[in-house]
Amino acid sequence: MADPIHQFVIQDLVPLNIGGIDVSFTNSALWMVIAATVTTVGLSFAMRQRALVPGRFQVFAENMYEFVANMVRENVGSQGRQYFPFIFTLFCVVLMGNMMGLIPYSFTYTSHLAVTAGLALFIFLWVTALGFYKHGLHFLNFFSPEGVPFFLKFLVIPLEMISYLARPLTLSMRLFANMMAGHLVLKVFAGFCVSLMSVTIVASILPMGFNVIMIAFECLIAFLQAYVFTILTCIYFHDALEMH
């Protein structure tokens, strides 16, 4: 039976070593480049006509833009507009990583904790720096919600601080765990399919049918995880900009 973990192995495509640091071009990096290229070229291609009555591709591109724009407007507010380019890029990166991972023989870079934790830590540090930049030391009031009785503050402030510090972990873990679990299940059932083939071909239809359903489900998960990742980034920006 095929090893279900094997699909997550990072392989060096172009070994590179600069100053003792391994900066090889890996299959993970290759798929990031492909994702970036497909997004950039695809969106430019879709918008090249700028028609008043949009065609199929333009509708897709406009919908994607509006989807993220609405998300930013609803969750960050008018102050969040200047962060829209970053949030849109983030959405594209995560969505493409999840979606292209479903193509057979591709590599899902969002199924690695290193990638998602990198994104989440970057967002966390930026948002914290932004909070201190906008509000100065008043940002620390963020941890002390209004309307809490004095004695309860000794409990609530540590709770809020722990929840705040847990943000990068929960943000990255959710995406990575969902993507990895989904791909593992797909692979395991594909393995069943091959093993059962040696018994009877009829029996192997069952796991195959399950995989067909799983692929559709994974498409939903891929989109939903990108949505959750982006909306939480919006909420973090909102917290830093407006506090409460």
Partner 1 sequence: MSQDDQKLKEMQAQIDALRDKTQPKPVKRTDDSEAMSLGMRAGTELVGTILVAGAIGYGLDQLFETKPWIMVAMLVLGIIAAFYNVYKTTMNQGTSVGFKKPPET
By DSSP bridging, strand 17-18 and strand 12-14 are unpaired
Residue from 98, 110, 116, 225 in contact with partner 1 (CB under 8 A)? 225
- Spatial separation of the C-alpha atoms in residues 99 and 220, rounded to whole Å: 9
| Residue 147 beta carbon to partner 1: minimum distance, rounded to whole angstroms | 7
C-alpha 230/C-alpha 88 separation (Å) is 8
Give yes or no for residue 147 binding partner 1 (CB under 8 A).
yes
Q: Are 141 and 240 in contact (CB under 8 A)?
A: no
Inter-axis angle of helices 84-100 and 113-135, nearest 10: 170
Residues between 67 and 126 that touch partner 1 (CB under 8 A): 70, 73-74, 78
Among 86, 132, 142, 210, binds partner 1 (CB under 8 A): 142
- The β-bridge relationship of strands 12-14 and 21-22 is unpaired
From residue 174 to residue 203, the character string flagging contacts with partner 1 as x (rule: CB under 8 A) and all else as - is: x--xx-------------------------
Alpha-carbon distance 146 to 226, whole Å?
32
Least Cβ distance, residue 32 to partner 1 (angstroms): 24
With H, G, I as helix, E, B as strand and everything else as coil, classify residue 58. helix
Based on CB atoms, which residue is closest to partner 1, 218 or 239? 239
- Determine, following the binding rule CB under 8 A, whether residue 143 of this chain makes contact with partner 1: yes
**Residue count at the site for partner 1 (CB under 8 A)?**
37
* Burial profile 86-101: b = 16 or more Cβ within 10 angstroms, e = fewer: ebbebbbbbbbbbbbb
- Shortest Cβ distance from residue 229 to partner 1 (Å)? 10
Point out which residues bind partner 1 (CB under 8 A). Answer: 66, 70, 73-74, 78, 142-143, 145-148, 155, 158-160, 162-166, 169-170, 173-174, 177-178, 224-225, 227-228, 231-232, 235, 238-239, 243-244
